[in-house]
């Protein structure tokens, strides 16, 4: 009997491994497997696909100047969007990508250092307000966070801890500003979070706001 039991265990484990492999192969065959297919769901956009990270207030910038360790340091971008270094007293960083900022700093430092080579990397990400996504209302932890490429509603809900007990998740609204106008989409968070309906997942875009109302009792 023990031999039969062990044989059955091996069969179950084998079936689980085959299932996991099939899911992995299925996932690899799609670029964005979780984008929602229901008609009124917001879709991914060219803006989100081409999106690049731009420095915002509160970001931590690691500035490395090759062969000049005394000029290499970590700075925090102030609320006014500027920072200071030993040879650059005031410099506007917000709205620029790290490579753009590095090129501009090379020009600034070129007045004092021969052929400076600068690299800028971002340590703590905050980003510009228009690049953030926000969730308010009956989320466990309403918050704002930097947008990440290919971010979905599910990613945002995981970061915020899901829905409260009083949330009307299927009446949630996604507010999006595109082309100078405001658009609103209904999103089915109850179906996504509580029922595990992955078809209710939708693509996020920089600047999106999710509003979760309270349920009517």
Q: 98, 122, 146 — which closes off a domain?
A: 122
Q: How far apart are CA 7 and CA 11, in angstroms?
A: 6
CATH, residue 100: 3.30.1950.10
CATH, residue 135: 3.10.560.10
Enter the tokens of residue 103.
Answer: 């090129």
pLDDT, tens digit only, all 217 positions of the chain: 544 444 454 454 444 444 444 444 344 433 444 455 665 677 767 667 778 899 999 999 999 999 999 999 999 999 999 999 988 889 999 999 999 999 999 999 999 999 999 999 998 888 888 889 999 999 999 999 999 988 999 999 999 999 999 999 999 999 998 778 899 999 999 999 999 999 999 999 999 999 999 998 6
Position 20 in a domain: no
pLDDT of residue 174: 96
- The whole model's pTM is what? 0.69
What is the residue range of 81's domain?
Answer: 60-122
Whether 135 and 41 share a structural domain: yes
- Across 30-39, b (16+ Cβ under 10 Å) vs e yields eeeebbbeee
Which residues fall within 8 angstroms of residue 167, CB to CB, at 6 or more apart?
Answer: 137, 138, 139, 189, 190, 212, 213, 214, 215
* β-strands 132-137, 209-212 pairing: parallel
Position 2 in a domain: no
Q: What is the tally of structural domains in the chain?
A: 2
Position 80 in a domain: yes
């Amino acid at each position: 009997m023990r031999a039969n039991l062990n044989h059955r265990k091996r069969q179950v484990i084998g079936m689980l491994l085959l299932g996991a492999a099939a899911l992995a192969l299925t996932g690899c065959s799609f670029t964005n497997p979780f984008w929602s297919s229901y008609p009124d769901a917001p879709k991914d956009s060219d803006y989100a696909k081409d999106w690049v990270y731009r420095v915002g207030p509160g970001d931590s910038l690691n500035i490395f100047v090759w062969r000049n360790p005394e000029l290499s340091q970590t700075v925090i971008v102030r609320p006014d969007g500027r920072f200071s270094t030993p040879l650059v007293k005031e410099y506007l960083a917000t709205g620029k990508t790290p490579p753009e900022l590095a090129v501009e700093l090379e020009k600034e430092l070129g007045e004092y250092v021969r052929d400076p080579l600068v690299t800028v990397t971002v340590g703590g990400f905050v980003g510009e307000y228009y690049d953030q996504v926000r969730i308010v209302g009956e989320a466990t932890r309403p918050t704002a966070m930097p947008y990440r490429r290919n971010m979905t509603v599910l990613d945002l809900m995981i970061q915020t801890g899901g829905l409260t007990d009083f949330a009307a998740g299927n009446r949630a609204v996604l507010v999006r500003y595109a082309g100078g106008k405001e658009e609103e989409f209904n999103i089915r968070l109850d179906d996504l979070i509580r029922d595990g309906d992955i078809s209710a997942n939708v693509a996020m875009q920089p600047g999106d706001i999710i509003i979760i109302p309270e349920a009517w009792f």
